[in-house]
Homo-oligomer: A and B are copies of this chain.
Amino acid sequence: MDSASDQAGLDHESRLEHGDHQAVRLWLRLLTCTNLVERHLRNRLRKEFDITLPRFDFMAQLAREPKGLTMGDLSQRMMVSGGNVSGIAVQLEGEGLISREPVPGNRRAFCVTLTRAGQKRFAEMAEAHEAWVTECLGNLSGTETEQMMAVLKHIKHDVSRIEP
């Protein structure tokens, strides 16, 4: 279906009433924007490579750590639960894209790495992925990009001070 995105101007921001605070306005625009890009990437990955975003993400984490990562590492970096990572790993292993081997000095943990096939497959996808992201965010000026990076850093800092 996916007809939800192809009508511009009716989105999360339409939730606003007059007098709503600036922070809420900003949040809804941020959410809309991120969802828009995320959906686009998700659709492309599915169409061109028949893979989901979480699986791509999983492989991306491994691609930059040739020595491998444990399941817990992956859970942290992907910011999802351990059970979730476990499920994705089973699938990717079944497709021969990753391998899980015991860690010498620690029988609890696994060391997860991309197989040769996984490396090859990921390299192809990463190239396309980067092009798609550039299509979405590459038209900003240098100033805009820098501003955005700075403000996001600020937000990240503020939010991480809030928890629980």
A37 to B34, CA, bound (A): 12
Q: Which one, B7, B15, B26, B134, contacts A21 given CB within 8 A?
A: B134
Complex CA distance for A138 and B30, rounded to whole angstroms: 14
Known: A33-B156, A79-B11. A21 touches B130 (CB 8 A): yes
Does the CB pair B36–A77 fall under 8 Å? no
Contact between A30 and B148, CB atoms less than 8 A apart = yes
Chain A window 17-34, contacts with chain B (Cβ cutoff 8 Å), 1 for yes, 0 for no = 100111111110111111
Chain B interface: which of A87-95, A96-104, A112-120, A139-147? A139-147
Q: Using Cβ atoms and an 8 Å threshold, which residues of chain B touch A39? A: 79
- Please tell me if the beta carbons of A82 and B30 are within 8 angstroms of each other in the complex: no
Within A128-160, which residues are at the interface with B (CB < 8 Å)?
130, 133-140, 144-145, 147-156, 158-160
Question: Considering the chains assembled together, what is the distance between the CA atoms of A11 and B3 in angstroms?
Answer: 31
- Count of chain copies: 2
- Please measure, in the bound complex, the distance between the C-alpha atom of A6 and the C-alpha atom of B76, giving whole angstroms: 9
A23, A73, A80, A156: most-surrounded residue (chain B CB, <10 A):
A23
- A4-B81, A40-B163 given; name 20 further pairs at CB < 8 Å: A3-B82, A4-B75, A4-B76, A6-B163, A7-B76, A8-B160, A11-B77, A11-B79, A15-B60, A22-B145, A23-B136, A23-B138, A24-B133, A26-B137, A27-B136, A29-B152, A32-B79, A36-B79, A36-B156, A140-B154
